[in-house]
Amino acid sequence: MKKLMALFIATLLALSCAAMAEAPGFHAEGMPIVDEPVTIRVLTMRWADMGDSFADNPFLVNLEKESNVKIDWQIVSSNDWGDQKPIMLAGGTEVLPDVVLGFQTFNESDIMSNVEYFVPLEDMIEKYMPNLMKAFEEMPALKAISTSADGHIYSLPSRMPKRPIACNVPVINMQWLKNLNLEVPNTIDELEAVLTAFKEQDANGNGDPNDEIPFTSIGLGTDFLMPFGINDPNGTGFLINEDGSASYIYTSEQYKEGLKWAHKLYAAGLIDNETFTQDQIIRDAKCDDPEVSRVGFGYAWSYDAIFRRWMNEYAVIAPLAGPDGVRYQQGDKNGVSSLKSNQLSITTVCRYPEVVLRWADQFYTGEASIQNFWGGLGEVTSDNGDGTYSLNNPPEGTSADAWYWARSLRDFGPKYSSLEFDSRIVLDPTQGDGLKVAMDAETAQYVHDCFPELKYTPEEYSELSFLGADINTYVDTMRAKWVTEGGIDEEWDAYVAQLNVMGLEEMNAIYLGAYARYQQAQ
């Protein structure tokens, strides 16, 4: 049945490709792309009521003039897209646009479950997209994440500019250390001693030795277990080992030993007893208490967003060395959440896919990428004339992040900033994106390889959704139990056995099979 279905889909694709014709006056190189204007309908989803101001981005406006490719933007809101998307996919070629832009619009499961509506792009990429081909050569992982489980490329990728390498980083209250005459901790044993001092002494100096919280978080994720060799910034539940192989984190010895250490700290009152019950509002209220700084240590994407009025008391420190003496930092060497697939797909409705790909190839340069991530040159971004680029200050009353979203495609759509071009982007190290990148100075060097975001077959997506629901809930429940109550040594074997009953071996086989395909695609 699968072979018959594959043959049927291949036939449909062949027929649809045969119906496509090269656009009149098309140029495989240079500008314009076509002699006479061609209109392409591009569907993209935007958050809430962001609107269409991004379409006035100078890069997009100038590209339309130079290329003769006119874009008819079909913008849907995230508020409605959940209901609209299945209707559109069910309607097929009667309602589909020429192009779908942004990983948030159609994901890999959407495409693979409706693959007959999407054009395989790999041959045309080689023919019409020299900028993307150069990016594939410079960063093979970019091609690997673009390659679907059947070996075809149905969507174009992106690498966002100047992304940080480290994910959530260790942050400590330097004022508290100074008040208690303590040194910055370097190991988990030294951290335990510091947290004990934070708990037992008047670390914040307000005269009350009982209002300090040594460590707090929302739940206890893999950030806290980094010293035990855990790196899972994509939340896959898998770890890349030193030999390049992959293994499931939550049955590993590192994870078990990490939870034993966490329970030791919890039992000593060094971990907030509301860690597993509080939400972000409660956690933030503790970190931003209007009266006094109350939290000594934590993990944060950017400490200015959590500690706010007390942010000047905090600093990023190097990751703590664990039992093996090595420092580990969660993150991605290619940039956290920087590599994304499904940024542009062409449907079989499109008459001129070669025009779309030539248009899209213009996005795969450094200058194009900063304009489509932050905003146009001369407006949001500036060419400093010495080979470097910087961001301008937002208008009065507007936050930088809101400005970027209003004036660019931001996270969505094709782009590629090489590591070399990244080095020429100058960001303000005191706020926003620049502050987060500046935090890498203490932490990025300790980031190890991480398990990537992968692509699966429709059957694998279905199986993972079914298996993951029970397995993930059970893992989370047992983690909370073992940190707060202990007992992991006595219950570990039964825990692993229960996971196997739930289908852990089948789930592992799917993930590891997809990882093998990913490695082969590079």
pLDDT tens profile 459-498? 999 999 999 999 999 999 999 999 999 999 999 999 999 9
Quote the CA–CA distance of 339 and 130 in Å, as a whole number. Answer: 19
Sequence-ordered strand ranges (E) for 96-189: 99-101, 155-159, 169-173
Query: What Å distances lie between residue 158 and 54, 78, 202, 205, 442, CA to CA?
Result: 18, 21, 49, 48, 27
- Indicate if the pLDDT at residue 3 is higher than 50: no
Sequence-ordered strand ranges (E) for 313-373: 314-316, 339-346
Across the range 230-257, mean pLDDT stands at 94
Across the range 120-139, mean pLDDT stands at 98
- Indicate if the pLDDT at residue 181 is higher than 90: yes
When pLDDT is cut at 50, 70 and 90, the band that residue 308 belongs to is confident
When pLDDT is cut at 50, 70 and 90, the band that residue 28 belongs to is very high
pLDDT given at position 213: 97
Percent of the chain surpassing pLDDT 70: 96
pLDDT given at position 436: 87
- Indicate if the pLDDT at residue 83 is higher than 60: yes
- Residue that the structure tokens 């971004």 belong to: 381
- Indicate if the pLDDT at residue 300 is higher than 50: yes
For residues 303-315, one letter each, b for 16 or more C-beta atoms within 10 angstroms of the residue's C-beta and e for the rest, the string is: bbebbeebbebbb
- Indicate if the pLDDT at residue 343 is higher than 50: yes
Quote the CA–CA distance of 348 and 367 in Å, as a whole number. Answer: 31
Q: Residue 321, SS3?
A: strand
pLDDT digits (tens, 9 = 90+) for 411-454: 999 999 999 999 999 999 887 788 889 999 999 999 999 999 89
Quote the CA–CA distance of 355 and 360 in Å, as a whole number. Answer: 9
Report the first-to-last Cα separation within the chain, whole angstroms: 30
- Indicate if the pLDDT at residue 4 is higher than 70: no
DSSP of 128-141 = H-HHHHHHHHH-HH
| Lowest model confidence (mean pLDDT) among 121-125, 281-285, 383-387 | 281-285
Q: Which amino acid is at 443?
A: T
- Indicate if the pLDDT at residue 128 is higher than 80: yes
For the question of whether the overall pTM of this predicted structure is more than 0.85, the answer is: no
pLDDT given at position 21: 65
- Indicate if the pLDDT at residue 132 is higher than 60: yes
Q: How many alpha carbons fall within 13 Å on the CB side of residue 398?
A: 14
DSSP of 7-74 = HHHHHHHHHHHHH--PPTTB-SSSS-SBSS-EEEEEEEEESTT-TTGGGG-HHHHHHHHHH-EEEEEE
Which is more confident, 509 or 21? 509
- Indicate if the pLDDT at residue 182 is higher than 70: yes
pLDDT given at position 324: 95
Q: Residue 346, SS3?
A: strand
Helix 58-67, helix 366-373: angle, nearest 10 = 130
pLDDT digits (tens, 9 = 90+) for 318-337: 999 999 999 999 999 989 98
Across the range 392-409, mean pLDDT stands at 90
The chain-wide mean pLDDT, for the chain, equals 93
Tokens representing 308 are 């706010």
C-beta of residue 270 within 8 angstroms of C-beta of residue 215: yes
pLDDT given at position 97: 97
pLDDT given at position 50: 84
